[in-house]
């Protein structure tokens, strides 16, 4: 149970980081 919860949390964090990175890249290119 704890292992599955930890993996879910890590996957969510990774997804959020990837989404933030994509948004920041788009904003950077638009401002460019």
Kindly report whether the global pTM for this prediction surpasses the value 0.85: no
Write the CA distances from 10 to 7, 15, 17, integer angstroms: 5, 9, 11
> Residue 7: what pLDDT?
72
> Residue 6: what pLDDT?
66
> Residue 20: what pLDDT?
97
> Residue 3: what pLDDT?
66
CA distance 32 to 29: 5
> Residue 28: what pLDDT?
95
pLDDT in tens, 1-32: 566 676 777 888 999 999 999 999 999 999 98
């Amino acid at each position: 149970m704890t292992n599955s919860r930890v993996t879910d949390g890590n996957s969510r964090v990774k997804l959020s980081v990837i989404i933030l990175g994509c948004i920041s890249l788009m904003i950077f290119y638009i401002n460019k």
